[in-house]
Amino acid sequence: MKCPYCQHPDSRVVDSREAEDGKVTRRRRSCTQCSRRFTTVEEPVLAVVKRSGVSEPFSREKVVSGVRKACQGRPVDADSLALLAQKVEEAIRSRGAAEVPSHEVGLAILGPLRELDEVAYIRFASVYRSFSSLEDFEAEIASLRENGPSGSGARPVANVTASPPLPEGEPARLVEASP
């Protein structure tokens, strides 16, 4: 490791410690030339490989940005989104791969998002899985109902049934659902 003070290319490690739950290694080093000490922080780089083949560093901010769109108008705060991004990063890093396809990042988002807010989950899944018909939405909602309530903060999906279309010229009216 090059000394930041004298630029000498050699140094020795005096102390080495894990930080941030083992994600980062902090090393205290001493220059063999000038004897000054400095600290280095080592963190493995996690890369995301996009469909085009381009590789870029994993970004929690990009996860939050994508999920924020699905959560628009929902009772989801910034802290919850940050925690979701942290869970996604932890899930991806736990696989032990230096590079992951963007598809796996999307899959890693679905679980924590479902626990956070089921409506946001449906919105995100509809874009991520390219829903093309009403049947796609119905199948996903049926899957949510089948698997029961997910997280503590999630609101269950309402029991909705489709009604026949109105005859032409008849105005729409609001009907209250019975409990």
pLDDT tens readout for residues 10-21: 999 999 998 876
What integer pLDDT is reported at residue 8 of this predicted model? 93
Q: CA 87, CA 151: separation in Å to the nearest integer?
A: 14
What integer pLDDT is reported at residue 149 of this predicted model? 52
Residue 102 in contact with residue 48, Cβ under 8 Å?
A: yes
Low-confidence ranges of the chain (pLDDT < 50): 151-166, 172-179
Listed by start position, the domains of the chain span: 11-42, 47-145
Token pair 């992951």 is found at: 100
pTM: 0.62
Residue burial 4-28, b: 16+ Cβ < 10 Å; e: rest: eeeeeeebeeeeeeeeeeeeeeebe
Residue 80 in contact with residue 116, Cβ under 8 Å?
A: yes
For the chain, counts of helices (H) and of strands (E): 5, 6
Token pair 């489709």 is found at: 162
Q: CA 78, CA 85: separation in Å to the nearest integer?
A: 11
What integer pLDDT is reported at residue 84 of this predicted model? 94
Residue 97 in contact with residue 85, Cβ under 8 Å?
A: no
